[in-house]
Amino acid sequence: DAKTTQPPSMDCAEGRAANLPCNHSTISGNEYVYWYRQIHSQGPQYIIHGLKNNETNEMASLIITEDRKSSTLILPHATLRDTAVYYCIVRVGGYSTLTFGKGTMLLVSP
Amino acid sequence: GAVVSQHPSWVICKSGTSVKIECRSLDFQATTMFWYRQFPKQSLMLMATSNEGSKATYEQGVEKDKFLINHASLTLSTLTVTSAHPEDSSFYICSARPGGSGASPYEQYFGPGTRLTVT
C-alpha cells in the first residue's frame, strides 16, 4: 500500500472548518483513500473513504486532487468532540489490512 | 451502526500470568477480525488477522505462542497474552470486518480497546 504523509498536529477554532491534508504521491490506480480518527483512549472510528471522486457524508467531506496524489478531509463545523488523531490510509480495496501511520493530532479549541 | 465490544476495558495483572481479552461483534457476523496493539504516543500496530474457524496470521515480529488468538465463532475472537511481562503493557484494540452476502468489504469496525497493565 502507498505511504501517506500528514502534518503531526493542527489547531482549529470551534465552529470553523477543519481542513486536514494528506499526501499520497505514490498511490496506485486501484488504491482507495480512507480516513479514520481516534479519540484519546478509544478505538479508531471510520470517517470516509474515496477512490477519485469527492465524497461527502454526515461526518465529513473528502476532496481528492485530480492526480490523486493528495487529499483533504474537511470537517465543516469543528466541535470540541472532534479533537482526535486523524489517520489518512491508502489501501487496495477493502480486503487489504489497514495500516496506520502517525496521523494528525487535531486540537479544536473554544 | 455496527458495534464491536471488548472485555475487559482495562486489566491489571501480575508478571508471569496470562490474560484473556474478548472481542465481540454485537450486531453483525465478522468473518475476519484483527488485533492491534498501541503503545503510548504511538500509532496502532497490527498484530494478527484471524478468520473464523482457521488459524490466525501473525505479523512479523509478533510471537504467536505468546499472543494466542482464537476466532471460534462469527461473533467472537479472543486474544490471550500468555506469561505477560511489563513490556506487554499496552492498549489492545480489536477490529471486525462484516462477512456474508450484502456485507461491504470496505467496512471495518473497531472495538473500544483494552488497557493492559502488567506489574
Report the C-alpha gap between B83 and B66 in whole angstroms.
7
Q: What pLDDT sits at residue A97?
A: 80
Weakest-pLDDT range from A5-9, A46-50, A75-79, B79-83: A46-50
Q: pLDDT tens digits for A15-72?
A: 999 999 999 999 998 899 999 999 999 999 999 999 998 999 999 999 999 999 999 9
Q: pLDDT tens digits for A72-102?
A: 999 999 999 999 999 999 988 766 788 899 9
Q: Would you state the torsion angle of the CA atoms of residues A107, B3, B4, B7, taken in this order, to the nearest 10 degrees? A: 90
Interface residue A103 vs chain B (CB under 8 A): yes
Report the C-alpha gap between B72 and A72 in whole angstroms.
40
Whether residue B8 has a cis bond before it, omega within 30° of 0: yes
Predicted confidence (pLDDT) at residue B103 exceeds the cutoff of 70: no
Report the C-alpha gap between B40 and A41 in whole angstroms.
10
For residue A92, what are the CA distances in angstroms to A34, B38, B107, B112?
Answer: 10, 23, 13, 25
Q: State the average pLDDT for chain B.
A: 92
Q: What pLDDT sits at residue B2?
A: 81
Report the C-alpha gap between A102 and A79 in whole angstroms.
22
Predicted confidence (pLDDT) at residue B37 exceeds the cutoff of 80: yes
* Inter-chain residue contact A93 with B106, CB threshold 8 Å: yes
Residues of B in contact with A46 (CB under 8 A): 107-109
CA A31, chain centre distance (Å): 15
* Inter-chain residue contact B34 with A45, CB threshold 8 Å: no
Interface residue A32 vs chain B (CB under 8 A): yes
Provide DSSP, A47-67: EEEESSS-EE-SS-EEEE-TT
